[in-house]
Structure 1
Amino acid sequence: MVYTEEMRAVSPTHPPAAWIGGKRQLASRLVGMISTIPHVTYAEPFVGMGGVFFRRPAAPRSEVINDRNGEVVNLFRILQRHYPQFMDTLKFQITSRREFERLKACDPATLTDLERAARFLYLQKLAFGGKVNGQHFGISHGQSARFNLNRLAPMLEDVHERLAGVVLENLDWSDFIDRYDRPGTLFYLDPPYFGSEDDYGKTLFGRDQFAAMAERLKRLQGRFILSINDVPEIRETFAGFAFHQAELTYSVGGGKGTAARELIVTDRNGSAPTKPSTRF
């Protein structure tokens, strides 16, 4: 990649925890596609644990990440602004099914923001398959404890450094796009998969939102890349955009994988993008 005045090299790092639909297999292809599109603002409406965001090797001056899940945004805000205090909160935490169940039953509204972030990270690190909704304690045969601060601390420090200067939002995806859409913005969208809308919470994203999203993307001033499962309903909803097929293997918790197809949807199909203006 050639780094222009709009782009700078950054150090890729791992997301802080597992996340269902976390893009581990598809990330390198998505990152490659992102790198071919000149942009002065990078924006993610559905950041989750940042499976693509944190793996990018270059970034523009302006980066904005968003999620409707307030626990996600609180974790990133704490890692960004209160990293030393957060590490003190985690210092004596151990991997324990009993502790997992205790924290899962705890109402996050009764906790401080530091405690909320620690609870959320702990549950995500230990939940089977990186599930967000309906979590169960996961076990890994032949491996060490899954919540090990000696291994976790260096990665969290990298995440803390990577989040410097990044704007965090807690908006609905449509409000987020309306706020940041302009020439020079590149959106990467990773919405819940068709048929799995409730995996992230029953009130966060409805199936009707796919059609609304397709209509909004038709009016986009910036550019976009969207990743989604490859099903007929999605192909029909996003007809008119460019489709790029990906062959993957789905597996959960190290189990036997099953073949799957995903779609990468883009606004253009291989055309050379024009360089965006830096004047907004």
Structure 2
Amino acid sequence: FAKPPALKEVYNDLDDGAVGFFRVLKDESKFERLFTLARLTPYSREEYDLCRRTWEACTDDVERAYRWFVVARMSFSGRFGCGWSSVISSSARGMASTSSSWLGALRTLPLAHKRLQNVAIEQQDFRQILAAYDSPQTFFYLDPPYVPDTRRAGEYRHELCGEDHAELVQMLLSAKGRCMLSGYAHPVYRPLELSGW
């Protein structure tokens, strides 16, 4: 979100919660309701628990996006649904840092809504996205699930196995466009390093 908009931009994720949230956030007719729901929500364990239990079964896309956002922003250490972040020992702006972080996230919603207006939102496997959008003018930023050996904890809703990571590496090595990959050092990424990454 911090970079200047490009002529054509695509956001891709396999997680239906994230994709649904960004689609609602982008939508002119749905954003105001999403923003109102979020603004009226205190930083609360009860609200977190309710949203964590009910977001997936919710059939209203705005309500579902709102509940997903609550779980995403109020989860401990940014690990979706792993428990309410109740850190109260640190302070920011005269309040618990968790409350301050929640209020900061609310302030960014209108900016994110505006920024997404010309962004296409996809929900495809990385293979399809790389094949569809690769060109000499393309810049890919990829943030796949980290290789399990490099994580301290946590699972992703959509994991990549070792073969998937190896295939991703091969696709990046043959890409026409420029690529940036987030991750931690691991032998599966060694071919990238040997190619100057």
Task: Give the TM-score band, short-chain normalised.
Answer: 0.7 to 0.9
Of 219-228 and 149-158, the range deviating more from structure 2 = 149-158
Distance 2:132 2:22 in 1: 20
8 Å Cα contact 1:185-1:222 kept in structure 2: yes
Letter paired with 1:67? D
1:84 to partner: Cα distance: 0.8
Letter paired with 2:192? F
Q: Unaligned regions of 5+ residues in structure 2, if any? A: none
Q: What is the percentage of aligned positions where both structures have the same residue?
A: 25
2:141 is matched with 188
Distance 2:189 2:110 in 1: 40
2:66 is matched with 118
Distance 2:49 2:126 in 1: 31
1:199 is matched with 155
Structure 1 residues 210 and 198, CA, compared in 2 at 3 Å: closer, same or farther?
farther
1:137 is matched with 84
Q: Does 1:211 align with 2:157?
A: no
1:62 is matched with 8
- The RMSD of aligned alpha carbons is 2.3
Of 104-113 and 156-165, the range deviating more from structure 2 = 104-113
The number of equivalent residue pairs is 186
Query: Alignment partner for residue 37 of structure 2, among 74, 89, 99?
Result: 89
SS of the residue 1:160 aligns to = helix
Question: Structure 2 length normalisation: TM-score?
Answer: 0.83
Question: Structure 1 length normalisation: TM-score?
Answer: 0.60
SS of the residue 1:187 aligns to = strand
Distance 1:98 1:169 in 2: 32
SS of the residue 2:32 aligns to = helix
SS of the residue 1:59 aligns to = coil
8 Å Cα contact 2:173-2:192 kept in structure 1: no
Q: Does 1:176 align with 2:124?
A: no
Structure (1/2) with the larger strand percentage: 1
Distance 1:198 1:183 in 2: 36
1:237 to partner: Cα distance: 4.5
Structure (1/2) with the larger helix percentage: 2
8 Å Cα contact 1:183-1:222 kept in structure 2: yes
1:153 to partner: Cα distance: 3.7
1:103 is matched with 51
2:116 is matched with 163
1:107 to partner: Cα distance: 5.0
Q: Unaligned regions of 5+ residues in structure 1, if any? A: 1-53, 244-280
